[in-house]
Structure 1
Amino acid sequence: MRRTREDALKTRDQILDAAEVTFFQHGFSHTSLAQIAERAGLTRGAIYGHFKNKCEVFNAMAERVKLPMEMLVTATFDPREADPLGRIRDLFMFCLAKAAIEPHSRRVFEVLFTKCEYTEELAPVLERQRTAARDGRARMELGLRNAIDKGQLPPELDTTRAAGVLQMFLGGVLRDWLLDYGSVDLPRDAKFLADACIGMLRNSPALRRHATSAG
C-alpha cells in the first residue's frame, strides 16, 4: 500500500516529537538518531526517509516553535491601534506565559538557550535567532514610536535603546527561568515583570535621548 501524504506528515511529527524530548533530556551533542528512533518507535531508516541527518531533525524541531521575538505582531505599530503600549505589555506577558505553559515551547526554548552548542552545523538555527532578534527590535521600536504618538510614552524616549533593553529583559528573564525555575514564578509573575518594563519606559532617565547623546 502506498503511503499517503497524511501518513508521511504523521510520521514526521512523530519523529519531531521524539526528537524534542530526547534533545531536551540529553542536549544536542549527546543525542543520536538511534535514540530519537527508539523513542519514536521507528527505525533509523524511517528517520532518513524524512531527514538527512541529526542537524536537519534539530532544525525542523526548532522551526515548529515561534521564538519570543517572533511573537511580536503588527498590532503594536498599527496606526489604528488605540493602545499600542497595552499591546506591547500583552505581548510581553504572552511570551513569558507561553514559555511556561505550552510544553513544546518550554522544551524547545530550554534546548535552544541552555542545552545546545552552536557549532557550524547548527548555523541555520543560530541565524534564525539572530534574524528574529533584529526583526523583533525593529518591530518593537515601531511599536514604541506608535505609543509616543498616542501620548503613552515620553516624546524624548530613545526608542532604539528602549527596544534593545526590552529585548534583553525578555530574553534574560526567560534564560534565568530556564536555568533555575525558582528564579521567577511564571506565568504568575509575567504581569509584574511586564509592568516593571512599562514603568522603566515611562520613567527611566537613562532611556531618554539626551542620556544617549551625553554618553
Structure 2
Amino acid sequence: MTRAHRGLLVAVEGPAGCGKSTTVSRLQRYLDARGYAVHSAAQPSRGTLGEIARHNTDVYHGLSLACLVAADRYHHLDTDLRPERDAGRIVLCDRYVASSYVLQRMDGVPLDFIEALNSQADRPDLVVLLTAKPRVAAARVARRGAHDRFHKGIDTTITEVELYEETRKRLQARGWPVLEVDTTATPQSKVVEHLATVITRLAEESDVPPATA
C-alpha cells in the first residue's frame, strides 16, 4: 500500500567525498520500503545537456559551463523534477543550485552571474547539506578517484567545504530550508534514518488524497 503524502523536492548537496550519491540511493530504498513514492535524480541530468556537462568539464569552463549546467537544470525541472513532484512523489536530487554556487565559483564565475543564472530555479522543500572534515572528505575522494577537474586534493576540498558553508548561509538568508548533516564520523545508516524522519514529516504535514494500492 502506498502511503498518502504530498510531493517534495529534496536537494542533496555537499562537497565531494561526503556521500551524496550513496545517501540518495540508500534513502530511496529506505523510503520505498516504507511505502513512500520516491523518485531519484541527479544534476547534471542524464539528458543530452546534462551528459554534455557531466562528461566535458575539461572542454567547457567558466561562463560556458555555468550556462550549460543552468540550461540543463531548467530543462530537467520542466521534464522530470516538477512532474514527479506534482504527481505526489518525494524527489531526491543529487546536486542542485547550491552546487552551482560552489563549483562555478571555483571555476572563476562571478557570484552575481551565478545568482542571476539560477534565479528562476524552483526553491526545494528541503536542502540537505552533507558535510565532513576536509581531510576526511579528501581522503574519500582519493580512494574512489576524482570524477572531474574540480577535485585535486586537500586544497580544493578545503575551498569546496568553505564555499558550501558560505552558500548555506546565503540560501538560509533567502528563506531556503537547509538541513546540515556532518558525515565525518556518523554511520551512513544513521544519516539515512535521520533524513528519512525529517523528509517524511515534511511529506505528511499537510492534507493529501487517500493512498492507492
Higher strand share: 2
| Structure possessing the higher relative contact order (Cα contacts under 8 Å, 6 or more residues apart) | 2
TM over 0.5: no
**Bigger Cα Rg:** 1
- TM-score, normalised by the number of residues in structure 2: 0.30
- TM-score, normalised by the number of residues in structure 1: 0.30
Higher helix share: 1
